[in-house]
Amino acid sequence: MTAAKVYTGDVEYFPSVQRIAFEGPDSDNPFAFKAYEADRVVAGKSMAEWFRFSVCYWHTFTAGGQDPFGPATRTFPWDAPSDEMAAAHERQDAAFEFFTKLGVPFYCFHDRDIAPQGATVLESESRLEQMVTRAKALQQETGMRLLWGTANLFGDPRFMNGASTNPDFTAVAHAGAQVRAALDATIALGGENYVFWGGREGYASLINTQTHRELAHMARFLGMARDYGRANGFTGTFLVEPKPMEPMKHQYDFDAQTVIGFLRHHGLDGDFKVNVEANHATLAGHAFAHELQMCTDAGLLGSIDANRGDPQNGWDTDQFPADINDALHAMIVVMRAGGLGRGGFNFDAKVRRESVEMEDLFIGHILAMDNFARALVIADRIAADGRVDDFLRDRYATFDSGPGAAFERGELTLLALRDHAVDHAVAHTSGKQEWLENIINDLMFRG
Amino acid sequence: MTAAKVYTGDVEYFPSVQRIAFEGPDSDNPFAFKAYEADRVVAGKSMAEWFRFSVCYWHTFTAGGQDPFGPATRTFPWDAPSDEMAAAHERQDAAFEFFTKLGVPFYCFHDRDIAPQGATVLESESRLEQMVTRAKALQQETGMRLLWGTANLFGDPRFMNGASTNPDFTAVAHAGAQVRAALDATIALGGENYVFWGGREGYASLINTQTHRELAHMARFLGMARDYGRANGFTGTFLVEPKPMEPMKHQYDFDAQTVIGFLRHHGLDGDFKVNVEANHATLAGHAFAHELQMCTDAGLLGSIDANRGDPQNGWDTDQFPADINDALHAMIVVMRAGGLGRGGFNFDAKVRRESVEMEDLFIGHILAMDNFARALVIADRIAADGRVDDFLRDRYATFDSGPGAAFERGELTLLALRDHAVDHAVAHTSGKQEWLENIINDLMFRG
Amino acid sequence: MTAAKVYTGDVEYFPSVQRIAFEGPDSDNPFAFKAYEADRVVAGKSMAEWFRFSVCYWHTFTAGGQDPFGPATRTFPWDAPSDEMAAAHERQDAAFEFFTKLGVPFYCFHDRDIAPQGATVLESESRLEQMVTRAKALQQETGMRLLWGTANLFGDPRFMNGASTNPDFTAVAHAGAQVRAALDATIALGGENYVFWGGREGYASLINTQTHRELAHMARFLGMARDYGRANGFTGTFLVEPKPMEPMKHQYDFDAQTVIGFLRHHGLDGDFKVNVEANHATLAGHAFAHELQMCTDAGLLGSIDANRGDPQNGWDTDQFPADINDALHAMIVVMRAGGLGRGGFNFDAKVRRESVEMEDLFIGHILAMDNFARALVIADRIAADGRVDDFLRDRYATFDSGPGAAFERGELTLLALRDHAVDHAVAHTSGKQEWLENIINDLMFRG
Amino acid sequence: MTAAKVYTGDVEYFPSVQRIAFEGPDSDNPFAFKAYEADRVVAGKSMAEWFRFSVCYWHTFTAGGQDPFGPATRTFPWDAPSDEMAAAHERQDAAFEFFTKLGVPFYCFHDRDIAPQGATVLESESRLEQMVTRAKALQQETGMRLLWGTANLFGDPRFMNGASTNPDFTAVAHAGAQVRAALDATIALGGENYVFWGGREGYASLINTQTHRELAHMARFLGMARDYGRANGFTGTFLVEPKPMEPMKHQYDFDAQTVIGFLRHHGLDGDFKVNVEANHATLAGHAFAHELQMCTDAGLLGSIDANRGDPQNGWDTDQFPADINDALHAMIVVMRAGGLGRGGFNFDAKVRRESVEMEDLFIGHILAMDNFARALVIADRIAADGRVDDFLRDRYATFDSGPGAAFERGELTLLALRDHAVDHAVAHTSGKQEWLENIINDLMFRG
């Protein structure tokens, strides 16, 4: 499922790193997997199929560590050419070298990541088309695939007050232009999904905002994009990615339930699903696994942006996911859901600003892939062990037959409930949380 | 709109406090209103009509300040009788004395606030009926009205794992029994609304919970309550009150958008609206005004639990609302919505544990009522001034005609947006947040 | 180091549970250790010596699950006697049965946990003395030891406005009376430490508080307790336990650095150290390991209350510590510090309110003990591996000799720094965070 | 106390704005003060003297709205020259035009704000000296004064791992070079204070950090700066500005108490005080007024960075302070302290990214100055009213004489406390928080 061989362009950008191989748990090699073994079959599917890992273009190839208090700390060699398009070519070569050395099957990008914005809409479109043509050739050469495309509707100052929710119609039109071109690019590259992350879709202050109108515009806009995509051959899934805040004070796609409610209300849930990012979940006051569960319950889990935040920091730190517990609870949900379908695990993650060696880019990804690989194996062990699932089945058994089942089928009235209560006392039954936590911890280390 | 005269039962419980009168801004009398003047007309309605203030039974008459680290600090004289029902009678007398001395038109209660739980369902029902009969007589005597009734489905250990979302059907049945009786009580007392706050509807841990099944049960349960209420003459509004957590780690009714999505998905939004509590909003990561705005946008703002949290504390402090800014931004939304209809401003608030004088109960309510009265007057001043509303109208003017209006009507395609963008640049227009904040602050003090 | 045999009083309170044995990682027995092996030597000390595990009396034997929204869900058989002192005897028997079955060497208590408050100071003292006499006998019989004693200065309404920081001198005096008696009890029982947790030492509002005076009173009070203890033979460590809030809006002992600064400023750091609680750390916006590190840096790490909070909840959930990462990073700090000396790992933790079986009390403790045992083994593995420590040593090498060392010794002026800068550029060196995280994760699972 | 006339350089950068005048509460002029009247005497001092308002150079003249998701939205005309030093001259002219039109007496800067970094230490020093010479002339011409100077030790990548706490001594040396030059500049310009904000003094991860060594280096460094300053004629106050996090995961100067403890421990509290920033306070989990109170209690309140955060956002939003309650509670503390001495109210605040008109820069400052002016007047009204202060005095009266006073003097033993408790019961006295809140709200609107 991954590239047969390593790609390098005219320049080899990561000469010190070769194709990352699985070396097993006893290896000390920083450039080897200790747990992720692409072809290893777990619960009926290979690791590669379970995860469909994806590298994101923006953090890894376009952002060098700038933060609100300082500039970039990593100077990328591919940014050397003064001609923007020449640099874009080099960056693309570097990206495909990285993808194929790392051994992931997918990647993701915003329009502006792969093609610099032009002076006009037409020039921007032309540049994107050139880079898409080049990407297509590289995909064919390497076997790499596009997990999803998207448009950057938050960077340019024209979107400072929002894109589809901008108070100025012309800004909405420019958002439309970018989405049109990004959809074309996604279709041309066989993208499996198309993502909307509403970076500026929200407000800085309620006092200068008509939220009702902005939300109606957002729904209208998503519908128009859906119609265009479907009419032009896009058969993949549209995804909305929740985030509660940052850069805006409030963002409309606050969390999974907010997005699910919005999609259903506007009749978009047939074409749209949710792209859950771990760090956005925690910013919204939720566990990562909670957001995944809410989407699974709604049948709307589309894809995952696998990263993590810092529990003590209130902004998007976008760290590589290193926590075995977070990964494990995510994989328990994903395994029960049977996997992500056309979605995948995209690493919307960046190495720390202080991690300035080019090799650190590989190390961050290895950290994350090994972590999720371990989580998959443990989740499978828990399923095979059966105690947790048995407990859950028994816990809800009163609804499987008799009056509980009638209640589920909608056959009881409130009075019938009351009459049942008159005759029955509630059993005082332990929730056994600590016992289940014990089982999970024990199985984590029974490898 | 408020009681014509003060009620006292056999005992006068607040002998040092007389009917609270409006004395105006220069009064130093702790037992007088400085801003709330029930009959003063603002924007076409009296203050009393705008607010429909309500006192809650639980914090004010049943809870004496216990917290997880210590017992009650206020010993209520009405709790003196060893016979539970006798104490309930005295508490009811004290409550009506308090209501009528304070001069609010409404009150609210849980079933267990007014009638102690019996040993059996039947005894609990019987006790509630007795207290409702008594309440009815007191309402008739005083003119007091019931803003809403509700059932306490979180206190009894049988609900430790949830009420309508309990994994055990029998617990759901007991919840049904209580809701049936509480609905009967609400109907008998002419309650304008009936509230569901899902205190234990959520989970302590995802690992022992089937969220999908629990959420389906909750929807089924609400529908059954609605059917019972409508069949038995309840013409008021059903309300769901969001809260993100506490006591549970996660509560299903997380915030307004979650509840709105849930109600719509299950076809409940014709009968149910949202009861917004200020402190619950902030626990969910939202401003109070935000939650009100989201409900207004959805046409589902039902009623308000007016209190406040502490910005530095992560639990429900339920303080009396003293912050003019919070109240003002709430009133701006409420005024634009034309008021709360059948809803009201209920003080789901408690005096601090250290405020142990009986008189402090009055002082807390006066604090809140004066604060909201000032907010109403300032909100009206802002509307009359017009600068804020004019700014908002102008800001969205591109959608009022031409292609922006066509976009709103759904007449444009994505390609049409793109073509508009090719020919038009986005104006670089200030959001003017600081200017609007200046106007609001200036008008706040132009009284 | 642990009790030679199981103790039972007249009644066996946990008949279904025998002495908890180590059965190794493949055991499915809920009542066995999978990782904690008391006598296993790790880095020169037995596990029992590293941890000096302690059970807390209050959560496990006196609190049955009450929370602000409902009463207790666990009814303890030892609370059955209507006579308070008879119940206290039974509770003590149950506690020692529990301690010896679990196999921990230490326990902790507040005065009121073991002896019910009397109607007067004298009666309270007398009751405590009786229970201490009984505890002494049980300690001798079982070999159990007291990790620390303390006084409950937050529960009684007389302390609603604080204990040593109460605005009323008489309340301070009552706090003094309790501390005097609790110190006597701790001395009599050979307690290794004495703890001050300032549950109400803080404020509900700044507007009714003179913080300066209250903080001065707190320092005076701690000094008086120290003087009394030292004069009466207490040779152990006094400990202050930080907590940022709850029940108070703000508590003076906010976090480790606040307490360290306070102790030093008032000359108390010769006798007092810090008792770090994990959940209090996270409430203060810190990682657990951070608080431990700050105390270690100051030479003031005294003891640990090992529990955890919920990352999404803003109150003290006091859960049993189940997270391997939290435990591991704590143990890395503790191992580098060479252990806790006279301190220990006390489980200031409670099973969930829904965990209503008596057996759940054991399961919670097993969960925590196994988790820390695994963490110790992994921390030792990391130390033995050496890569992390080598990296750290190399990272600061410029301060080990030459001008860096001179800087550390205070021999350079600001101008000398400047002159060095004129001639030297800063190397652009990676912080290698992801690489270190990889090493730690790899070693975690190399068992 | 403010500039006698408006300054303009060769170009007038704000031609549409004239000197901001006080027009009183009924003015609708966006470019007039409604409350701030520089010469109005309140409690014995003019408003200008109470506040000593200061404009910060960085937000207002060097930062155009960039955030992690997009570039600047404000293009400053003074940045037009391609020559960096020429642009610095123009920026300086614009700044002094702004200062004198706004009518503030003070300003603040980092070295790099006024003089672009050079290629070498020597060039950077030379550039700073040139700009300081120019600034000196402008100060003389306009009467403007420097509230404080500081060095930017967080922007350049050489400080990515810290400045004085960098693991590499050469980076520490470069920090020293900058502080030396910035101190010289501050001395030359008659700066009243010199500030250390430790933007990168902290850690991204504990696992690659020796906190003990880094903290020792920080203390050493501050001492060297103090010695240099004092030896070279600096008679002002050194200030440390707390911030808990951002950009680092954890910053050592977490909050006021942490800084106070650090300064005292290292013997720096004779020369150093604390510069409290409102937004940093709330990020640390504290109210703004709390941090001010802690500093006042310690005698270490130096100066104020007056801004505000967003209660729902977990990063430094640096908004202009518009909340009357925050300002009022700050002014109550400041008035009781008798003012800030050599400190002032510096607006470390930026207009929103969407506020793109040059005029918005004035409007933001007017918003803040009027807000604090109102707060001062209300705080004075509360003091004159006397009820709040009387309550506080009475609340602690038991410590003013008798055994309470003996306790304060350190004349009582723990046994003496106990003996007092035996004979005295604690009065059950209300904290009256709601009554005090009522008084404050009433007086707020009694103008």
What tens digit of pLDDT does each residue of C249-296 get?
A: 999 999 999 999 999 999 999 999 999 999 999 999 999 999 999 999
Place of tokens 């060696």: A357
Across A218-237, b (16+ Cβ under 10 Å) vs e yields: bbbbbbbbbebbeeeebebb
pLDDT class for A410, splitting at 50, 70, 90? very high
**Total CB pairs under 8 A between chain A and C:** 140
Whether A253 sits among the annotated catalytic residues: the reply is no
**pLDDT for position B104:** 98
Nearest to B430 among D356, D428, D434 (CB): D356
**pLDDT for position D5:** 87
Residues near B119 by beta carbon (within 8 Å), at least 6 away in sequence: none
Contact residues on chain B for C285, CB-CB shorter than 8 A: none
Q: Cβ–Cβ of A429/C356 closer than 8 Å?
A: yes
Contact residues on chain D for A70, CB-CB shorter than 8 A: 154-157, 159-160, 200, 247
The whole-angstrom distance between A361's CA and the closest CA on chain B is 34
Q: What is the 3 state secondary structure string of chain B?
A: CCCCCCCCCCCCCCCCCCCCEECCCCCCCCCEECCCCCCCEECCEEHHHHHCCEEEHHHHHHCCCCECCECCCCCCHHHCCCCHHHHHHHHHHHHHHHHHHHCCCEEEEEHHHHCCCCCCHHHHHHHHHHHHHHHHHHHHHHCCEEEEEECCCCCCHHHCCCCCCCCCHHHHHHHHHHHHHHHHHHHHCCCCEEEEECCCCEECCHHHCCHHHHHHHHHHHHHHHHHHHHHCCCCCEEEEECCCCCCCCEECCCCHHHHHHHHHHCCCCCCEEEEEEHHHHHHCCCCHHHHHHHHHHCCCEEEEECCECCCCCECCCCECCCCHHHHHHHHHHHHHCCCCCCCCEEECCCCCCCCCCHHHHHHHHHHHHHHHHHHHHHHHHHHHHCHHHHHHHHHCHHHCCHHHHHHHCCCCCHHHHHHHHHHCCCCCCCCCHHHHHHHHHHHHCCC
Whether the complex's predicted ipTM surpasses the cut of 0.85: yes
CA-nearest residue to A255 within chain B is B258
CA D305 to CA B382: how far, in whole Å? 30
**From D110, D174, D280, D365, the catalytic residue:** D110
Contact residues on chain B for D309, CB-CB shorter than 8 A: none
Q: Cβ–Cβ of A433/C354 closer than 8 Å?
A: yes
Contact residues on chain C for D166, CB-CB shorter than 8 A: 426
**From B111, B113, B370, B380, the catalytic residue:** B113
**pLDDT for position C1:** 53
Can you read off the two tokens belonging to residue C75? 């009814």
Return the closest-CA partner of residue A55 out of A94, A112, A87, A4: A94
pLDDT at A169 over 80: yes
**pLDDT for position B4:** 64
Chains sharing 3 or more CB pairs under 8 A with chain B: A, C, D
What is the per-residue pLDDT across A203-236, written as a single tens digit (0 to 9) for each?
Answer: 999 999 999 999 999 999 999 999 999 999 999 9
Contact residues on chain B for A173, CB-CB shorter than 8 A: 403, 417-418, 420-421, 424
Nearest to C157 among B71, B283, B312 (CB): B71
Nearest to D257 among C245, C254, C422 (CB): C254
Return the closest-CA partner of residue A177 out of C306, D13, B413: B413
The whole-angstrom distance between D315's CA and the closest CA on chain A is 6
Whether D110 sits among the annotated catalytic residues: the reply is yes
Nearest to C157 among B68, B73, B246 (CB): B73
Nearest to A355 among C322, C364, C432 (CB): C432
CA C135 to CA C128: how far, in whole Å? 10
The whole-angstrom distance between D398's CA and the closest CA on chain A is 42
CA A256, A260, A266, A268 torsion-angle sign: positive
CA-nearest residue to B295 within chain A is A212
Q: Cβ–Cβ of C247/B283 closer than 8 Å?
A: no
Strands B237-241 and B272-277: parallel
Chains sharing 3 or more CB pairs under 8 A with chain C: A, B, D
pLDDT at B237 over 60: yes
Hey, of C438, C440, C444, C446, which one would you mutate to test binding to chain A, going by the most A CBs within 10 A of its CB?
A: C438
Residues present in chain A in total = 447
Q: Which amino acid is at C171?
A: A
The whole-angstrom distance between C382's CA and the closest CA on chain D is 12
**From D79, D93, D113, D269, the catalytic residue:** D113
**From A59, A110, A286, A290, the catalytic residue:** A110
Place of tokens 């504290």: D286
Contact residues on chain A for B422, CB-CB shorter than 8 A: 120-122, 177
Average pLDDT, chain B: 97
**From C59, C79, C93, C110, the catalytic residue:** C110
Average pLDDT, chain D: 97
3-state secondary structure of C427: coil
Beta bridge partners of D277: D305
**pLDDT for position A447:** 77
The predicted model gives B110-121 an average pLDDT of: 98
Contact residues on chain B for C155, CB-CB shorter than 8 A: 69-71
Q: Cβ–Cβ of C297/D211 closer than 8 Å?
A: yes
Residues of B with CB under 8 A from a CB of C: 65-73, 154-157, 159-161, 199-200, 204-205, 245-247, 249-250, 283, 310, 312-317, 352-354, 356
**From C79, C93, C113, C269, the catalytic residue:** C113
What is the per-residue pLDDT across C417-440, written as a single tens digit (0 to 9) for each?
Answer: 999 999 999 999 999 999 999 999
Q: Cβ–Cβ of D418/C176 closer than 8 Å?
A: yes
The predicted model gives A38-61 an average pLDDT of: 97
What is the per-residue pLDDT across A328-350, written as a single tens digit (0 to 9) for each?
Answer: 999 999 999 999 999 999 999 99
**pLDDT for position D447:** 78
The whole-angstrom distance between A187's CA and the closest CA on chain C is 35
Nearest to A180 among B415, B425, B437 (CB): B415
Contact residues on chain C for A347, CB-CB shorter than 8 A: none
pLDDT lower than 50: segments of chain C: none
Contact residues on chain A for C442, CB-CB shorter than 8 A: 25, 27-28, 34, 370
Q: Cβ–Cβ of A68/D73 closer than 8 Å?
A: no
Nearest to D30 among B286, B438, B445 (CB): B438
Q: Which residue has the higher pLDDT, B5 or D367?
A: D367
The predicted model gives A290-299 an average pLDDT of: 98
The whole-angstrom distance between A314's CA and the closest CA on chain D is 4
**pLDDT for position B215:** 98
Beta bridge partners of C202: C251
pLDDT at D3 over 80: no
**pLDDT for position C5:** 87
Across B211-235, b (16+ Cβ under 10 Å) vs e yields: bebbbbbbbbbbbbbbebbeeeebe
Q: Cβ–Cβ of D314/A312 closer than 8 Å?
A: no
The predicted model gives D395-417 an average pLDDT of: 98
What is the per-residue pLDDT across C84-141, written as a single tens digit (0 to 9) for each?
Answer: 999 999 999 999 999 999 999 999 999 999 999 999 999 999 999 999 999 999 999 9
Residues near B225 by beta carbon (within 8 Å), at least 6 away in sequence: A414, B176, B179, B183, B194, B196, B238
CA B158 to CA A398: how far, in whole Å? 15
**Total CB pairs under 8 A between chain A and D:** 99
Average pLDDT, chain A: 97
Can you read off the two tokens belonging to residue A243? 């985030």
Contact residues on chain C for D205, CB-CB shorter than 8 A: 431, 433, 436-437
Residues near C217 by beta carbon (within 8 Å), at least 6 away in sequence: C164, C165, C172, D399, D407, D408
Nearest to A426 among B168, B407, B414 (CB): B168
**pLDDT for position B5:** 87
pLDDT class for D2, splitting at 50, 70, 90? low
**From B59, B79, B110, B280, the catalytic residue:** B110
Chains sharing 3 or more CB pairs under 8 A with chain D: A, B, C
pLDDT above 90: percentage of residues in chain C:
98
**pLDDT for position C443:** 98
Contact residues on chain D for C398, CB-CB shorter than 8 A: 167-170
pLDDT above 70: percentage of residues in chain A:
99
